[in-house]
């Protein structure tokens, strides 16, 4: 009787011990599992707002960088010794002192890379707005890779560790792309420079039209004359892609070349013969020269010669008589030729 009671007691005590040990083992395993879960990377609620913010900055900075470097011939920081200030931009020489200086593709990629890396830091502004909302954000330095190919691709590696409470997430990769094909701008720029080297002082408008058609571009050339003693005359070239725009601003690619006049070429003006015309009848005469970039002036009040060398007017009653008019033609290096026009109005 007593032995059976002892056995019963031992059995009960044994069961209690087993249950107690099992409870602590289970509790320990549970704590261990919870500990592992806390260190797993869990998606932070609303952390996508941080990612969206970075992507938005990348989009904005990339577009502004493309516009900026486009306006400066592919440069973020153009070479100071071979550039001029033009409004808010620095325009690089692509042809200077008989030397072609067209930017290389890898250099243009490096220039845009520098711009994006620098401006990304400014744009995110140390994530101040998100930190005010309770986020802890650790950010490493952004690293950018730019690829100019059939399109422009800007890859951003920006390691971020975002935490809020016990939740943590990590992101690092962002990307931006646009259909801008820089190679066609560089190819066209090289054609312009090479043609100018072979035809100094001459702007081939038909050539520009042909090259524009080849690459689906719009090309403008603007001769700009320096009235200072330095006479740093230039030709500004503006290449525009009418298919790609950012905030309604089309992507443009600009550069300058040194305008060189051929000093060995003498300015010649076609001889002006004696002419006569009648009251009420339109008179037309084209003054022809061997140079394109010239300026025309006259010393009469009965007509004005335009800058294409065209004299066009209709004599009025009271203007009858014989007129001796000096037509002066001046080229870009200051050479002048004066031709006498004898005009009889009947």
Residue 291: pLDDT band (50, 70, 90) is: confident
Structure-token pair, residue 197: 């080297």
Percent of the residues in the chain that have a pLDDT greater than 70, as a whole number: 85
Q: What's the average model confidence in pLDDT over 68-96?
A: 95
Counting other chains too, the contacts that 222-230 makes at CB distance below 8 Å and 24 or more residues apart are 223/259, 223/293, 225/332
- Could you read off the pLDDT of 192-238 as tens digits, one per residue? 999 999 888 788 888 999 999 999 999 999 999 887 767 789 999 99
Lowest mean pLDDT segment, chosen from 59-73, 94-108, 112-126, 263-277: 263-277
- Could you read off the pLDDT of 18-76 as tens digits, one per residue? 444 454 444 444 443 333 333 333 344 556 789 999 999 999 999 999 999 999 999 99
Name every residue whose Cβ is closer than 8 Å to that of residue 132 and which is 6 or more positions away in sequence: none
One of 3.40.50.970, 3.20.20.70, 2.60.40.10, 3.40.50.20 is the CATH number of 275-345, namely 2.60.40.10
Q: What's the average model confidence in pLDDT over 330-336?
A: 85
Percent of the residues in the chain that have a pLDDT greater than 90, as a whole number: 66
Residue 100 has pLDDT above 90, yes or no: yes
What is the average pLDDT value for the chain, to the nearest integer? 86
What is each CA distance from 36 to 41, 100, 199, in whole angstroms? 10, 63, 75
Q: Can you tell me the distance from the alpha carbon of 69 to that of 109, in angstroms, rounded to the nearest whole number?
A: 10
Q: In 10 A of CB 174, how many CB atoms?
A: 20
Residue 27: its pLDDT value, please?
A: 45
- Could you read off the pLDDT of 312-328 as tens digits, one per residue? 999 999 999 999 999 99
Residue 99: pLDDT band (50, 70, 90) is: very high
Secondary structure (H, E, C), 97-129: CCEECCCCHHHHHHHHHHHHHHHHHHHHHHHHH
C-alpha closest to that of 172 among 60, 63, 45, 50 = 50
Residue 131 has pLDDT above 60, yes or no: yes
Query: Taking the domains of the chain in order of start, what are their residue ranges?
Result: 41-260, 275-345
Q: What's the average model confidence in pLDDT over 179-203?
A: 93
Residue 261: its pLDDT value, please?
A: 64
Residue 46: its pLDDT value, please?
A: 52
- Burial (CB < 10 A; 0-12, 13-18, 19+), residue 198, is exposed
């Amino acid at each position: 009787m007593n032995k059976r009671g002892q056995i019963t007691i031992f059995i009960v005590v044994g069961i209690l011990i087993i249950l107690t040990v099992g409870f602590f083992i289970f509790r320990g395993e549970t704590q261990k599992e919870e500990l592992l879960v806390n260190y797993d990377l869990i998606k932070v609620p609303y952390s996508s707002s941080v990612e969206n913010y970075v992507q938005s900055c990348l989009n904005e900075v990339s577009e502004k960088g493309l516009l900026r470097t486009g306006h400066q011939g592919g440069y973020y920081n153009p070479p100071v010794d071979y550039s001029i200030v033009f409004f808010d931009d620095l325009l690089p020489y692509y042809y200077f002192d008989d030397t072609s200086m067209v930017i290389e593709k890898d250099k243009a990629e490096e220039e845009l890379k520098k711009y994006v890396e620098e401006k990304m830091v400014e744009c995110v502004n140390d994530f101040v707005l998100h930190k005010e909302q309770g986020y802890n954000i650790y950010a490493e330095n952004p690293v950018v890779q730019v690829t100019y190919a059939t399109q422009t691709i800007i890859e951003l590696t920006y390691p971020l560790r975002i935490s809020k409470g016990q939740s943590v997430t990590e992101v690092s990769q962002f990307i931006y792309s646009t259909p801008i094909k820089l190679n066609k701008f560089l190819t066209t720029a090289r054609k312009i420079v090479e043609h100018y080297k072979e035809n100094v002082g001459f702007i081939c408008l038909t050539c520009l039209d042909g090259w524009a058609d080849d690459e689906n571009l719009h090309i403008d050339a603007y001769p700009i004359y320096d009235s200072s003693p330095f006479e740093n005359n230039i030709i500004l070239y503006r290449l525009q892609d009418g298919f790609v725009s950012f905030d309604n601003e089309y992507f443009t690619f600009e550069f300058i070349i040194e305008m060189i006049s051929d000093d060995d070429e003498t300015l010649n003006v076609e001889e002006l013969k004696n002419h006569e015309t009648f009251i009420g009848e339109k008179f037309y005469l084209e003054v022809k020269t061997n140079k394109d970039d010239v300026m025309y002036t006259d010393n009469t009040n009965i007509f004005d010669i335009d800058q294409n060398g065209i004299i066009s007017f209709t004599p009025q009653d009271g203007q009858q008589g014989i007129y001796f008019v000096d037509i002066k033609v001046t080229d870009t290096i200051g050479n002048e030729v004066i031709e006498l026009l004898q005009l009889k109005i009947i």
